[in-house]
Structure 1
């Protein structure tokens, strides 16, 4: 079995896995060209999951796969900012707030009540709640040290969230078309109801042109909810549990993901007219390719063993919360006139 040379420079160790993800992105683009209704996002995930189900990649390609699933997606999101103006971002963000706050409130309350009823451990139900209500694995990673979650609880929560990420990426475009939603409304729905950024991007890309920009803006605004939620959870922790977030207030800044800052800077640059038409074209192509490669990496990272180990209770809780969030988002959109 080939294994990466631990003495090789990091960039060299990343190359095989990134190349594999880019190759799979090329295949998914070809599938999307032949079957435009399918797009390139879903095939990229599906191919990755299928390969991981047969034999989960490791050794030589694993470092690059892990890099692709996280960093390539974040770079793609930054590039998407080049196609939006500050006025668009502020308008969409403000429009999404009622729906976003409704889904977050329902999700966190249901995680506490339903999780207790199902006898899911307190820390685990908190992780599943914030993962479903805010932004998947990123929220879990941010909140875990605040509540002193164990590595096992983190693994169970991430595995649970992953299942519904994949399901949402496939189901939401079908739901959107069944409801006759336009690109703008679907972007609001996907950004407020799908838990992980990668699945929001996949669903919006599959739905059709125009939905991606709206969905990403809504999702990034939603991601910022990590900060108040983490601070609120820190306030509930006993003083004797350790130094904690509140004793190191400078750490609050680290809760804001770097790609949100990069996305904002790109929006500002575009609003100021600093990005040429030629650069727009290059960034659009690069962003689409990086999204497909990142989704391929996420699919290849599927750990079916960890999902089985999570057991039925965390999975059931995650499923119930996902359905409640979707129903709440649709209800809020209906009340605000978003569903026409």
Structure 2
């Protein structure tokens, strides 16, 4: 077989494997952690055949899945969970940003890279990095390093957090609140909470989305700190659609009849999202991160995780 034919065969086989695994992630047998693991395995063993397509699709698929989860939630319960998490949210965001700034200066990490890692840890992972990076005019290398750190820790959290929750005998309410504060990305928060239980999923999703709204004031703060007043700030409009879906499920009987179907589709979409994210965690991504940014990310993650765990167990 010639080199050209071998290359064509390899490309076709890789794409076929990707499609089969993606379809499997839409079935009831695939869990969020399994989907993430399959994506990572594919990236390491044969490579990612559609990196550009899934990078764009992941963003929209995650948002659509989160909106779909709103059809499974009650407005009054969500309001109660949001009120309980707001104090933890404010304290954790402010303290994480301050600690991130100190660690960045102490370890002499490039300023914008350090700030992106701190913002991603403090608020909502990749979404915060995507919103803040144009405001501070970050370069692609700085964005890639920050995203690499966040994605690595997200992958660990998705598997580790449910285990820790069971070891501490955390209630559904406690785990949902803890995961929403301590896990970076919405996708991993929802994935970990869904594995823990339905009530944990409701609490985690509500608190995490309320936390995501802090992208707006942090983005304004970023423009002030980095003196980039002309940069546009991205507002997470999909959170409004999530609220509308939740209100419709709470007060419109006709919507309640189709809500279980919508939630099932949303969970499948979230599982597929995690598969796409796993496919992006290649060896190249991991090696491009560097030691110091990874240490900063791990230190901030441990800080916010331990602080949030103590606060939830003590006051929730």
Cα deviation, 1:147-189, whole Å, max 9, x if unaligned, reads 1211111111111111101011011001100110111110000
1:196 deviates by: 0.6
Q: Write the distance in 2 (CA, Å) between the matches of 1:276 and 1:147.
A: 42
Give, in whole Å, the separation in 2 of the partners of 1:118 and 1:275.
57
Partner of 2:311: 332
CA distance in structure 2 between the partners assigned to 1:17 and 1:144 by the alignment: 34
Match of 1:322 in 2: 301
Match of 2:230?
Answer: 244
The structure-2 alpha-carbon separation of the partners of 1:334 and 1:205, relative to structure 1 and needing over 3 Å to count, comes to: closer
The 3 A distance-change label for structure 1 pair 18 and 210 is farther
Could you tell me the TM-score, scaled by structure 1's length? 0.83
CA distance in 2, matches of 1:227, 1:52: 34
Map of 1:172 onto structure 2 = 161
| TM-aligned CA deviation for residue 221 of structure 1 | 0.6
Equivalent residue for 1:289, pick from 268, 279, 302:
268
Q: 1:269 aligns with which of 242, 248, 255?
A: 248
- Hey, what does 2:44 align to over in structure 1? 53
Quick check: 1:100–1:329 contact (8 Å CA) kept in 2? Answer: no
Distance in 2 between residues matched to 1:118 and 1:223, nearest whole Å? 28
Distance 1:277 1:267, change over 3 A: closer
What secondary structure does 2:292 align onto? helix
Matches of 2:212 and 2:296, distance apart in 1: 21
Q: Quick one: which of 222, 239, 254 aligns to 1:260? A: 239
1:56–1:301 CA contact under 8 A, matched in 2: no
Match of 2:35 in 1: 44
**Distance in structure 2 (CA, Å) of the matches to 1:62 and 1:117:** 35
Q: Per-residue displacement from partner, 1:211-232 (whole Å, max 9, x unpaired)?
A: 1111111110111111111111
Any residues of structure 2 matched to 1:1-340 within 5 Å, and which? 19-20=19-20, 22-26=22-26, 29-30=28-29, 40-58=31-49, 61-238=50-227, 243-245=229-231, 251-252=232-233, 255-336=234-315, 338=316
> What is the match of residue 6 of structure 1?
none
Question: Where does the alignment leave 5 or more consecutive residues of structure 1 unmatched?
Answer: 3-14, 33-39, 246-250
Cα separation, partners in 2 of 1:274 and 1:48, compared to 1, 3 Å? same
CA contact (8 A) 2:174 2:313 kept: no
Cα distance change of structure 1 residues 201 and 106 upon mapping to structure 2, 3 Å threshold: same
Deviation, 1:307, is: 1.9
In structure 1, the partner of 2:11 is none
SS of equivalent residue, structure 1 residue 210: helix
Distance between the aligned counterparts of 1:265 and 1:278, measured in 2? 16
For residue 272 of structure 1, report the CA deviation from its aligned partner.
Answer: 2.3
Provide the C-alpha distance between the structure 2 equivalents of 1:82 and 1:300, rounded to a whole number of angstroms: 29
Cα deviation code 1:249-297 (max 9, x no counterpart): xx44xx3223212101111212221544430221122112111111111
TM-score of the superposition, structure 2-length normalised? 0.89
Aligned equivalents of 2:244, 2:256: Cα separation in 1: 18
